[in-house]
Structure 1
């Protein structure tokens, strides 16, 4: 890669076609991730029954639901649900621009993690574009408290996650995870962490028309005294790692990679959305900055915050 690492925007090198089911709808889904031009961002193209399509940008201003998953809606009835895992894969691997064509109102759940998306993106590869990469730089702390949950964004030289969960069941209990995010740590530490749910809640979810596609193939099922899945857990602390994965996907709705640290306690999709909303509501709390090209500045002039942010795809 020429010049400053991570200085240029990226997109997919080829199209990626995926099929699966929606974890809540139970309906079959076909989805294609397509390369896109500079400054396109991530956008969903949703096919309608009449043959037309609706475009919804992956941006926090279009969040229309945060119950059990993140939903984007255009305000006119079109929506796409469970966007967090594919967005986490794109952001975690450093994809700035992509069009996501989908024939359903829900992203396929795959195996309940981001791993299938990561594998597909790695197989397709990334390509650099000429435009400089833009970052959302956190300039001052933003903290949100919501019914016992706390989320906070603070300035940081890179992107750090500090996630804590606390469930009464001894199968989960108190779990913490802190890591600096880059493509290597994303693949290794959180991409394979699966969504989870409690068996005692299943009938209530079904009655509400939710989790109709959930199964042991895509969800870690928690019983009264054990994990039901025969293969067990992928990580000893898979639950907090999945919460971190969700946070990466939800924060991707900032529209650009974040230069900042995100701390969340007892959080989830709702809290993540509220923190982004609070950030954008304060114009003094953030700024959009561009990565400098190495040949244009001396090494000593590189901003530490930009130099620490490595979102370009690698294989570490």
Structure 2
């Protein structure tokens, strides 16, 4: 099972800028993706109110709130919210090193999916930096549970997601998506799946200061009579579970490296994804850090060799 097209670190070929609004703040925000050197990882640079720059590395140890979205940082003045959709595109497209300059506290929601970010990376293209990429390979099962929900990592010769949701809503019900993750499969099967919500929750969220930028332009909205309000309808017949899978890809991108293994979840979400990733990374017997021995353009899991974890642990940054 192929892991990816390159066993080497990449970055984008040129800067690219996007603008939009924050789905929770409702305010306009501009972001610029900047190329970065090998070993940089994914870094968010947020412009603070006083003009200073706040640097946040996109790694598990920096994850704060995960109630409605994934937030990097631990205070409103020093954080960037709703990073999961852009992180999913970064991970799926195979971009290892990137600086994301953002002039607000939240990433733009765009159309509620990862499509605009994938378009941006395809527009600029990627550059092979000639430095070997390192991967986190799962070597034993790791599982977390909460009530009737659970998530787990399992060994697998590839990168695979198996996500199942179960909503008490006739329109959604029980749905599952299973597949190996590649740039092509993500682009075709997951990237256009939008965030979704229920009309009955809108007033409560607005009163709490959330979803102020949510609209039919960036969210699938389900009415009280269990129908989709959006004129265009659904983009996939099972768009709901596909979006939950997209979210999982983005949340697990905070490992600080691509992983080799299978991620499975039932009735999961941002918090469950974050807790599963922390459980994996906190158990040194559950994974190993590897790199390819091959100089070829396509690599397979069996062609990887272990390297020292002490020399590579970006998730602790």
Q: TM-score, normalised by structure 1?
A: 0.92
Report the Cα distance in structure 2 between the residues aligned to 1:305 and 1:258, rounded to whole angstroms.
Answer: 15
Report the Cα distance in structure 1 between the residues aligned to 2:300 and 2:244, rounded to whole angstroms.
Answer: 33
Alignment of 1:147-226 (within 5 A): 147-223=147-223, 224-226=225-227
The answer for the alignment partner of 1:271 in structure 2 is 272
Q: 1:77 to 1:48 in 2, by over 3 A?
A: closer
Report the Cα distance in structure 2 between the residues aligned to 1:108 and 1:230, rounded to whole angstroms.
Answer: 22
1:249 has 2:253 as partner: no
Q: Deviations over 1:199-223 (max 9, x none)?
A: 0000000011000000000000001
1:23 has 2:23 as partner: yes
User: Offset at 1:33?
Assistant: 0.6
Report the Cα distance in structure 1 between the residues aligned to 2:237 and 2:79, rounded to whole angstroms.
Answer: 35
Runs of 5+ in structure 2 lacking a partner?
A: 306-317
Helix, strand or coil at the partner of 1:209 = coil
The answer for the alignment partner of 2:234 in structure 1 is 233
Q: TM-score, normalised by structure 2?
A: 0.91
Helix, strand or coil at the partner of 2:80 = strand
Report the Cα distance in structure 2 between the residues aligned to 1:225 and 1:5, rounded to whole angstroms.
Answer: 42
Coordinate RMSD, CA, aligned: 1.8
Report the Cα distance in structure 1 between the residues aligned to 2:115 and 2:247, rounded to whole angstroms.
Answer: 13
**Quick check: 2:48–2:77 contact (8 Å CA) kept in 1?**
no
Runs of 5+ in structure 1 lacking a partner?
A: 308-316
Q: Deviations over 1:5-58 (max 9, x none)?
A: 411110001111000000000011010011000011101000012211010000
Alignment of 1:1-80 (within 5 A): 5-73=5-73, 77-80=77-80
The answer for the alignment partner of 1:294 in structure 2 is 295
Report the Cα distance in structure 2 between the residues aligned to 1:202 and 1:51, rounded to whole angstroms.
Answer: 34
| Length, aligned pairs only | 300
User: Offset at 1:306?
Assistant: 4.8
Report the Cα distance in structure 2 between the residues aligned to 1:214 and 1:200, rounded to whole angstroms.
Answer: 14
**Quick check: 1:157–1:305 contact (8 Å CA) kept in 2?**
no
Report the Cα distance in structure 2 between the residues aligned to 1:191 and 1:255, rounded to whole angstroms.
Answer: 21
Report the Cα distance in structure 1 between the residues aligned to 2:122 and 2:135, rounded to whole angstroms.
Answer: 23
Runs of 4+ in structure 1 off by over 6 angstroms are none
**Quick check: 2:292–2:303 contact (8 Å CA) kept in 1?**
no
The answer for the alignment partner of 2:308 in structure 1 is none
**Quick check: 2:158–2:301 contact (8 Å CA) kept in 1?**
no
1:304 has 2:302 as partner: yes
Report the Cα distance in structure 2 between the residues aligned to 1:119 and 1:30, rounded to whole angstroms.
Answer: 16
Q: 1:170 to 1:305 in 2, by over 3 A?
A: farther
Q: Deviations over 1:212-253 (max 9, x none)?
A: 000000000001231000000000000000000000000000
